[in-house]
Amino acid sequence: MRRLFLISGLLLFSCTACFLSGSSHSTSDNTTPEVTLSKFQCIPGTSQMISSVLLEPQGKGLASKRGYSSNIHNYSFFDQSQETVTFTKLLPTNDYVIKQIIQLTEAGVPNAQLKKSGAIEQGEFSCKESPVIKWLLYLVVNQDTNDDEQLDPTDIPTLAMSDVSGQNYTELIPGIQNILNIIMKDSQQLMVIYRKDNQYHFSMIDLLQREVTLTEEIPL
């Protein structure tokens, strides 16, 4: 009888431990990141305001599995000249990571975004007098290219664009390892020189139609 009681007690303890372990796992998996906004800033030469959408991870679980971090995952826009304020999101969800945003005028990339080496820096936003920004380019991580089961800045991004209001988001060139140059051929045609699959290419982009019209490999 004493032996039977001991076995029953062990089974009860084991089942209780399983239940507690399962409950802890479930809570962790349901953890979602906190969504925060940065301060809204002016897009130079326009009435548009822009804010970064950040995701702050809350412990482990779903957040870490999905690759959420305090990187930029989206942008929020509104037009301060309109009586009715309407906020617009660049992307429908916050699942992707935006590695870089590049401002573009009719003359090309503003000098403030160019390093001495020719590399293009992250665009700064200011209400001060400056060239009028016409379009925005983005390097967006939307695929897990290194198979680590998360989206983060270590993945290879896609070049995308939108209007200065965040409308008409369009993905243009996937798999860009790095951009060497962005050159305006005229007020509508943009040439991008970049590295993809360890080869060098250039693409011509029609900014008004938001499409790539030509892509060729650069012979070395």
Residue 15 has pLDDT above 60, yes or no: no
Q: How far apart are alpha carbons 205 and 215 in whole angstroms?
A: 9
Specify the higher pLDDT residue, 187 or 3: 187
pLDDT interval class at 55 (50, 70, 90): confident
Q: How far apart are alpha carbons 61 and 96 in whole angstroms?
A: 18
Structural domain boundaries of the chain?
28-176
Pair 140, 98: CB distance under 8 Å: yes
Specify the higher pLDDT residue, 7 or 70: 70
Q: How far apart are alpha carbons 161 and 101 in whole angstroms?
A: 9
Residue 65 has pLDDT above 80, yes or no: no
pLDDT in tens, 77-97: 999 999 999 999 999 999 999
Residue 189: predicted pLDDT: 94
Structure token digits, residue 115: 């390093």
List Cα–Cα distances, 181 to 8, 58, 125, in angstroms. Answer: 73, 38, 21
Q: How far apart are alpha carbons 108 and 127 in whole angstroms?
A: 19
Structure token digits, residue 156: 């290879």
Specify the higher pLDDT residue, 131 or 76: 76
Residue 31: predicted pLDDT: 64
